[in-house]
């Protein structure tokens, strides 16, 4: 087992790793930017080191400064969390070169999954179904138009080197493609330093379903039941739940089996998430795999009674992963991402939290690094907290979540809690009748209502 882990991240995920280290009896080192000097992960870790100014490129993405923190503290492992350097194959290689345990997949897997088009083709060879699309990356508009015509509109353009909605555009005609292609290229270049794109068929009315995997160094891969992630705005997830109200046991069993086989074939190690689009007939198509821990991993932990972060650390130390005796989903879990943003305009709302009351009680879990008096910096993503509700049934989990949100008090900044409460009252959401178009439809309906009453 490793003895001291440097956490190359911030916010709630850094704090989660600190707590998991404590449970395992491992010392933790927090690194922080000048903007995060008073952040909880910095205050609660065993040691902390400032690695630069607020700008991420000069701190959380500054490999030289992170390695200096390793040398100062004597850490023998690095956990990258999610975002920042978590899916940076070069960083994983540097860690290995310096004799550090990188708590994540090996560089070869990170590199494979980071090339979204290559990952699609590899998973196709491994037996996973994929949507019709380009076989190679596309950098030329003429080639893009020929490819889209062959696939058939509507199509979706995606950045080959990354995700998170950057470089993604839906095109329903050749003229739209002509307009959107250079915009998507520019976004991809700015976000990932790579303007390469690929094109695939766009499936209207689909669900976004993902499968959690964990692979150890002995070659054993375990896949868990699905997470439903269809409630999203501009490809950013807002609410996740497990099990999906749409996926039946037969589809679940097939997805888990095929993902386990495909992940085993490529030698997957550590945590990872295989993401799919599922159409109205429950036919599923591989989209991408994220070679890291996901933001929404807590809901899988709740229904399986496991700690994925602790398992990830043990695997990195060379231990064999032993899944729970009864590997089955029990109950229902739902997660709401609480962001520091205006619930109507979605404009970021950084600033000082004057007063804070987070929810609690039976079946409620809160992953957060926020506290009263903390100043939310404007330099990073707006995630404040993840509120997770767990209950024997979906209806009870939703009821618990509503009660939790209604008793959450955050004064001094705006949050999207009103939006979450609104979604949890939507009849289609309550009935489980929602797709990836849900938020567009929901927001359009709300805007129409407000126009009528104005």
Question: What tens digit of pLDDT does each residue of 242-263 get?
Answer: 999 999 999 999 999 999 999 9
Total number of domains in the chain: 3
Last residue of a domain, one of 160, 185, 201: 201
Last residue in a domain, options 181, 201, 221:
201
Report d(CA 32, CA 38) in Å as an integer: 9
Do residues 222 and 184 both lie within one domain? no
**β-strand partners of 155:** 171, 201
Angle between helices 141-151 and 174-192 (to 10 degrees): 120
User: What CA–CA distance (Å, rounded) separates 244 from 201?
Assistant: 24
27 and 156, same structural domain? no
- In this structure, the answer to whether residues 252 and 401 fall within a common structural domain is yes
What is the C-alpha to C-alpha distance for residues 158 and 181, in angstroms, rounded to an integer?
Answer: 10
What per-residue confidence (pLDDT) applies to 192?
Answer: 82
Stronger pLDDT, 129 or 160, i.e. the higher one: 129
In a domain, 61, yes or no: yes
Distance CA 244, CA 217 (A): 30
Q: Write down the pLDDT at residue 447.
A: 86
Query: Do the Cβ atoms of 160 and 116 come closer than 8 Å?
Result: yes
Q: Are 391 and 271 members of one domain? A: yes
- Within this chain, do residues 256 and 330 fall inside the same structural domain, yes or no? yes
Residue with more model confidence, 351 or 116: 351
Q: Do residue 274 and residue 399 come from a single domain? A: yes
DSSP 51-88: EE-SSGGGTTT-HHHHHHHHHHHT--EEE--SSTTTT-
Structure tokens at 369: 């690094």
Which of 145, 170, 201 is the C-terminal boundary of a domain? 201
Quick one: pLDDT band at residue 189, thresholds 50, 70, 90?
A: confident
Confidence of residue 369 (pLDDT cuts 50, 70, 90): very high
Asked if 186 and 262 sit in the same domain, the reply is no
Averaged pLDDT for residues 61-90? 97
Phi, psi of 250 (to 5 degrees): -65, -45
The answer to whether residue 70 scores a pLDDT higher than 70 is yes
CATH code at 70? 3.40.50.20
Whether 390 is covered by a domain: the verdict is yes
Q: Tell me the average pLDDT of the chain.
A: 95
Based on the domain organization, do 224 and 368 belong to the same domain?
Answer: yes
Does residue 165 carry a pLDDT above 80?
A: no
Task: For residue 80, tell me if it sits in a domain.
Answer: yes
Query: Do residues 157 and 195 share a domain?
Result: yes
Can you give the pLDDT at residue 60?
98
What is the rounded distance in angstroms from the CA atom of residue 372 to the CA atom of residue 376? 11
Q: What is the pLDDT of residue 366?
A: 98
For the residues 274-296, what does the mean pLDDT come to? 97
For residue 162 the two structure tokens come to 């990354």
Query: Are 328 and 426 part of one and the same domain?
Result: yes
Question: CA 303, CA 331: separation in Å to the nearest integer?
Answer: 6
Q: Are residues 411 and 429 in the same domain?
A: yes
454: in domain: no
Residue 127 forms part of a structural domain: no
**Is 99 a member of any domain?**
no
Three-class secondary structure of residue 46 per DSSP? coil
- What are the structure tokens assigned to 416, written together? 């999207």
Q: What is the pLDDT of residues 323-366, one digit of tens each?
A: 876 788 999 999 999 999 999 999 999 999 999 999 999 999 99
pLDDT at 454 over 80: no
What ranges make up the beta strands (E) of 279-424?
284-290, 332-339, 351-352, 355-357, 364-368, 375-376, 383-391, 409-411
Beta pairing, strands 77-79 & 101-102: parallel
Q: Could you say which of 169, 207, 227, 292 is catalytic?
A: 292
Quick check: 77 pLDDT over 70? yes
Q: In the predicted model, what is the mean pLDDT of residues 197-226?
A: 95
The reply to whether 111 falls in a domain is no
- We report the CATH number of the domain holding residue 143 as 3.30.1490.20
Omega into 154 within 30° of 0, i.e. cis? yes
Q: Please give the pLDDT value at position 136.
A: 86
Coil, strand or helix at 122: helix
Residue 225 domain flag:
yes
Distances (CA, A) of 100 to 2, 89, 109, 313, 366: 10, 14, 18, 13, 31
Q: Note if 394 is an active site residue.
A: no
CATH code for the domain in which residue 388 is found = 3.30.470.20
Residues 172 and 311 both lie in one domain: no
Could you list the residue range(s) of the whole structural domain that residue 34 is in?
4-86
């Amino acid at each position: 087992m490793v003895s001291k882990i440097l956490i190359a991240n911030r916010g709630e995920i850094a704090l989660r790793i600190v707590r998991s280290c404590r449970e395992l009896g491992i010392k933790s080192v927090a690194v922080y930017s000048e903007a995060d000097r008073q952040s909880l992960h910095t205050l609660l870790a065993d040691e902390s080191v400032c690695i630069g100014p607020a700008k991420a490129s000069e701190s959380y993405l500054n490999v030289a400064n992170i390695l200096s923190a390793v040398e100062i503290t004597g850490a023998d492992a690095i956990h990258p969390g999610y975002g920042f350097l978590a899916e940076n194959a070069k960083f994983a290689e540097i860690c290995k070169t310096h004799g550090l345990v990188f708590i994540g997949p090996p560089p070869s897997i990170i590199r494979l999954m980071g090339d979204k088009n290559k990952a699609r083709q590899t998973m196709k060879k491994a037996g996973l179904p994929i949507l019709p699309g380009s076989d190679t990356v596309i950098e030329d508009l003429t080639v893009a138009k020929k490819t889209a015509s062959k696939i058939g509109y509507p199509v979706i353009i995606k950045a080959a080197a990354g995700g998170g909605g950057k470089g993604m555009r839906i095109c329903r005609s050749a003229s739209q493609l002509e307009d959107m292609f250079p915009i998507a290229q520019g976004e991809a270049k700015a976000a990932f330093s790579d303007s390469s794109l690929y094109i695939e068929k766009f499936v209207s009315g689909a669900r976004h379903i993902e499968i959690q995997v964990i692979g150890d160094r002995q070659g054993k891969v375990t896949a868990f039941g699905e997470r439903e992630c269809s409630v999203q705005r501009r490809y950013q997830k807002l609410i996740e739940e497990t099990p999906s109200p749409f996926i039946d046991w037969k589809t679940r069993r097939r997805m888990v089996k095929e993902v386990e086989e495909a992940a085993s074939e490529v030698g997957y190690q550590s945590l990872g998430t295989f993401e799919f689009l599922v159409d109205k007939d429950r036919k599923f198509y591989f989209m991408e795999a994220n070679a890291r821990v996901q933001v929404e991993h807590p809901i899988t932990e709740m229904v399986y009674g496991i700690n994925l972060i602790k398992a990830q650390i043990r695997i990195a130390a060379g231990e064999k992963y032993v899944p729970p005796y009864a590997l089955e989903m029990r109950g229902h879990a739902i997660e709401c991402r609480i962001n520091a943003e205006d619930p109507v305009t979605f404009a970021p709302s950084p600033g000082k939290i004057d007063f804070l009351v987070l929810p609690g009680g039976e079946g409620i879990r809160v992953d957060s690094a926020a506290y009263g008096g903390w100043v939310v910096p404007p330099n990073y993503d707006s995630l404040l907290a993840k509120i997770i509700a767990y209950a024997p049934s979906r209806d009870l989990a939703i009821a618990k979540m509503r009660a939790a949100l209604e008793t959450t008090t955050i004064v001094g900044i705006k949050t999207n809690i009103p939006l979450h409460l609104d979604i949890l009252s939507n009849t289609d959401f309550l009935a489980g009748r929602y797709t990836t178009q849900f938020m567009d439809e929901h927001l359009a309906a709300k805007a129409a209502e407000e126009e009528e009453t104005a």
